[in-house]
Amino acid sequence: MIFDIRGIFSFLARFLSGCRTSGRQRRRGQATTETVLLFPLFMFFLFAFAKVYALLILVQKIEIASYYAARRWQLESHRNVNYVGSDNRLQDDIEAKASEYIGFGGPSNQYGDTTEKFLDLVRLTGHGAKIDINRTQVWQVVTLTVKTRPINMPFYRSSGFTFEVTKYVPNRDRPIAFVLPGLQN
C-alpha cells in the first residue's frame, strides 16, 4: 500500500477546516478572550501541582537525609558515656548537612533560600531541620523533624505539615565474628 503524503495533508486540511463548533463561524477575537480568561486559572493549577509534587520530593529527601544522619551517627559517635558531650559537634555537623540536602539554605547551597521559600519550610534550629538523638541500651534513636508553614488561603485553614522520621540504630555497628564450634584450635 502506497501512501501519498500530499493526499494525507490535503485530507487533514479539509477535515480540520470543517471542524466548526455547532456549524457557526467563529467570531474574531474569541480565542484571545478565552486565553485571557483561562490563563490565570491554568497558572493557578500549574503552581498547585508543582507545589504538591515538590512536597512529594521533600518527603523522599527527608527519608534519604534521615538515613544519612542515622548511618553517620552510628559510625562516628562515641560509645563511651564519658565522651558523650563531644558528640554535640558531630550532631551539629550532621544537622547542617541534612538540612542543606533537604533544601534549607546553606553556605554551599546557593539555591536553598528559593527552595525554602517555595516549600514554606520553618527553621527549627539554626540550620533548619532538627535532629534529636536518644541513646538507649540497645538502640540509638535518631529522629529528623521538618516543619512547613500553614497554607495562607482564605476559607481554608491548615496548621502546616510536620514530617518526622525515626531511625533506630544499633549500638554495635560491626557484628561479632561467628565461630563454628569444633573448629577452634
Supply the DSSP string of 125-168, one letter for each residue.
SSSSSEEEEEE-SSEEEEEEEEEEPPP-BTTB-----EEEEEEE
Bridge pairing between strands 121-122 and 130-135: unpaired
Note whether residue 36 is domain-resident: no
Note whether residue 13 is domain-resident: no
Note whether residue 67 is domain-resident: yes
Note whether residue 116 is domain-resident: yes
Of 145 and 153, more confident: 145
Grid look-up 527553621 returns: 123
Q: What is the pLDDT of residue 180?
A: 58
Write the DSSP string, 49-75.
HHHHHHHHHHHHHHHHHHHHHHHHHHH
Note whether residue 180 is domain-resident: no
* pTM (predicted TM-score): 0.67
Note whether residue 184 is domain-resident: no
Note whether residue 3 is domain-resident: no
**Structural domain of residue 131, as residue ranges?**
45-170
pLDDT digits (tens, 9 = 90+) for 6-53: 666 676 666 666 555 555 555 555 666 777 778 888 888 898 898 889
Q: How many domains does the chain have?
A: 1
Note whether residue 8 is domain-resident: no
